[in-house]
Amino acid sequence: MGTVPVTIDGVMMPKMRSAGDKPQAVVLVGQLNITGLKVGGGPIETPPAEVPPAQPGAPTFPIWGPPGMELPPIPGYPPVAGHPLPPMPDPPPDATKPPAFVPIWHPDFGWIMLPAFPIPTPSKK
């Protein structure tokens, strides 16, 4: 029967509890076995698929060309790879400039656009 080592760290509670019984911190170390598990067996490996040998110097399809590679436009040739990174997004708006209008939700009217008030600056005296 197959076994594996196991460690259980926990608290043991007395089954028949009386006034003086208290839980105890315990560590159980032992072997874990599964009923019916036998040594041997294992995964079933399928035989490798037979791939016909390629001629020297001739690539096996499908091939994937690097950016800029020119391939003949006949069936069997996939498209040439492009740039691996997505295009750069537009830069975020300037956070130092306040918006001209501020959207506010009102339960009776819905969205209301109010003009943003300028930031007060101290007056020069």
Q: Beta 101-106 vs 24-33: how paired, if at all?
A: unpaired
**CA neighbor of 32 nearest in space, from 57, 71, 1:** 1
Query: Looking at the DSSP assignment, which residues form a beta bridge with residue 6?
Result: 30
Mean pLDDT of 21-49: 77
DSSP 56: T
End-to-end CA distance of the chain: 94
Q: Which amino acid is at 89?
A: P
Mean pLDDT of 93-118: 80
Please give the pLDDT value at position 90: 86
Mean pLDDT of the chain: 75
Of residues 57 and 23, more confidently modeled: 23
pTM higher than 0.75: no
Return the minimum-mean-pLDDT range out of 4-18, 64-78, 90-104, 109-123: 64-78
